[in-house]
A and B are shown apart, each in its own frame.
Chain A
Amino acid sequence: MKALVLACLMFPLAALAADLEAALTIKDHRFTPSELKVPAGKKVKLLVSNLDSTPEEFESHELNREKLVAGNGKATIYVGPLAPGKYPFYGEFHDKTARGVIVAE
């Protein structure tokens, strides 16, 4: 087991190339933009800013991602490389209003 953990730590820690970035904002428990276009086949760095004072959890089964965003906080989430298609996401703590979709094309 120790070997496994060591092996994990040995993986290159630094990203190799400059990342593509895309920004999402949470305000009044809604995502803006609610539809975010990203290029397919590329890793994308999602920058989520929460302008609400309450925390939110970014979640997407389609993207296989889940991350807490503190109230008035920021979060970085790497997604992809994605195959072309639609990837819905939502804020777990306010899933009635906080909904959006990433479109990879």
Chain B
Amino acid sequence: MDFPSSDLHLWNRFREGDSQAFGSIYRMHIAELLSYGYRITSNRQLIKDSIHDLFLHIWLHREKLSETDSIKYYLFRSLRNRIVRTSTDPSPYEQGFRIDELLADASREQELIEQETRSGQLSQLKQAIDRLPKRQQEAIQLRYFHSFSLEEISSVMQMNNQSVRNLLHRAIVHLRNHFEIAGGLILSLIKIFG
């Protein structure tokens, strides 16, 4: 039951030019990167371009990359830098949200998933998150979905620790009303399967 420190190993194989390792890294992280990208900017083309460029860059410069034991963290930080740098939009994370554009595009399957989502409560919360300023959306996703620590978030978003706390706090305050409906109900199973 050896638990693998597989990131380090995989990353080293990749740096040595193993294209299978490159494929694995792509496959393991692409969904998370796309998902994260949508919270940084609503410009989907920019996200796709940036991810392409990021992976092409790390492939071309694989020998010069430093060691990492968290590929995810490395990719997230690089992607964000790339999007922010490349963006011609003066404020890629301004208040506005064009998420409806995105949703219109989402696959049929995704729509079905949305519909099945617990009696609409979660989708209300989802909509409320979509309406937050981009930076709050980004921080919330990094914190709760990707479970980054405050320290990691402040490094990825290049803000100090206290600013990240404040950002998250403001988001939670915004979302306050949407937690009310989520109270209660936890299956008694939680007691058995701690």
Partners in one complex: no
| A residues with CB within 8 A of B | none
